[in-house]
């Protein structure tokens, strides 16, 4: 092995250490965040936004610029949908401009894919995205360098709905819940371009709420639909004590959950 080989490994380690990666299984408590990739789509995303509003949830959308940048009728409609995603308070993350396998394209093209998409998102939200999800979940050296320079965190997932391959509501539902049963927390990967994925969301949430009723009856912590901040970054080994405001909020959510559990069987628990 040559010295250059070892220098290369060291450089990769240094770069990756500066680009935090969150996978979802690490953290405190039973937290869950929905993430949706490859959109926006004027055909499917609006219904998802209505579902999320009704459920009182915020999600993260990892978008591709080519879907909402250009002059075609479809692209313009998608752009309006993405503005609505932002208006309703969801986070928007960078998923590259056209979803290439990053390791297969040149350094220049990798930078362009990230920078172009970043600019388009900034135009809509007013701020630079700081969350990245690699297309096909595949990281590359040059992307890591860019992400480090621009203060991104990479968000992977541990609760895979497998929705590109298993195109059925029941399959998506089962995949998310079975992995959640295993990990007890995590980041859900879905695609808001799939109608079957969107239809699975309210069903998954209802199942988790019913699960919460059982947990509460046993005096255990319940699942919370949280934020990325709930997942510990690599190197953050210390558990931070939540402040009083957060504890009060969690208490209120528990009371609300308890009330919901009490309504089960009375026909008013459809949300
Ligand atoms: Zn993707």
**Segments making up each domain of the chain, as ranges:** 19-240, 241-271
- pLDDT at site 253: 84
Query: SS3 for 4?
Result: helix
Q: What is the pLDDT at residue 241?
A: 63
| Rounded average pLDDT over 181-210 | 96
**Structural fold of domain 19-240:** TIM Barrel (3.20.20)
- Look at phi and psi of residue 155 and say left if phi exceeds 0, alpha if psi is from -120 to 50, else beta: beta
| Angle CA 203–207–209, to nearest 5 | 115
When pLDDT is averaged across residues 100-116 and rounded to a whole number, the result is 97
Q: Check residues 267 and 37 and name the one with the higher pLDDT.
A: 37
pTM (predicted TM-score): 0.87
What whole-number distance in Å separates Cα of residue 123 and Cα of residue 200? 31
Q: In the structure encoding, which two tokens stand for residue 71, read together?
A: 């002059």
Question: By C-alpha distance, which of 88, 37, 97 is closest to 67?
Answer: 97
Residue 110 C-alpha to ligand 1 middle, in angstroms?
Answer: 15
In contact, 22 and 155? CB cutoff 8 Å: yes
CA 136 / ligand 1 centre spacing (Å): 6
φ, ψ of residue 104 to 5 degrees: the values are -90, -10
Report the pLDDT averaged over residues 92-98. Answer: 97
Angle made by CA atoms 134, 83, 206, in degrees to the nearest 5: 70
Q: How far is the CA of 159 from the centre of ligand 1 (A)?
A: 15
Least confident of 7-21, 23-37, 170-184, 221-235: 7-21
- Expressed in angstroms and rounded, the spacing between residue 109 Cα and the centre of ligand 1 is 17
Q: If you measure from the C-alpha of residue 46 to the centroid of ligand 1, how many angstroms do you get, rounded to a whole number?
A: 19
How much distance in Å is there from the Cα of 209 to the middle of ligand 1? 28
């Amino acid at each position: 092995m040559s010295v250059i080989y070892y220098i290369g490994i060291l450089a990769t380690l240094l770069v990756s250490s500066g680009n935090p990666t969150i996978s979802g299984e690490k953290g405190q408590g039973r937290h869950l965040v929905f993430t949706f990739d490859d959109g926006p789509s004027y055909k499917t995303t609006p219904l998802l936004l209505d579902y999320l509003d009704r459920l009182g949830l915020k999600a993260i959308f990892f978008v591709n610029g080519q879907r909402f940048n250009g002059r075609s009728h479809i692209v313009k409609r998608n752009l309006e949908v993405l503005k609505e995603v932002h208006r309703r308070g969801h986070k928007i993350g960078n998923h590259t401009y056209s979803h290439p396998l990053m390791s297969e394209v040149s350094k220049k093209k990798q930078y362009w894919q990230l920078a172009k998409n970043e600019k388009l998102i900034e135009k809509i939200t007013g701020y630079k995205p700081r969350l990245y999800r690699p297309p096909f979940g595949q990281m590359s050296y040059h992307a890591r360098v860019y992400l480090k320079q621009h203060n991104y965190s990479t968000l992977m997932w541990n609760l895979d709905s497998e929705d590109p391959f298993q195109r059925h509501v029941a399959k998506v539902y089962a995949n998310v819940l079975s992995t959640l049963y295993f990990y007890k927390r995590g980041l859900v990967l879905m695609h808001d371009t799939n109608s079957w994925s969107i239809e699975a969301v309210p069903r998954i949430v209802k199942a988790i709420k019913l699960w919460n009723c059982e947990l509460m009856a046993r005096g255990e912590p319940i699942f919370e639909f949280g934020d990325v901040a709930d997942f510990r970054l690599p190197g953050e080994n210390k558990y931070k004590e939540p402040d009083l405001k957060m504890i009060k909020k969690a208490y209120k959510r528990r009371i609300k959950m308890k009330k919901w559990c009490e309504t089960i069987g009375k026909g008013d628990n459809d949300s």
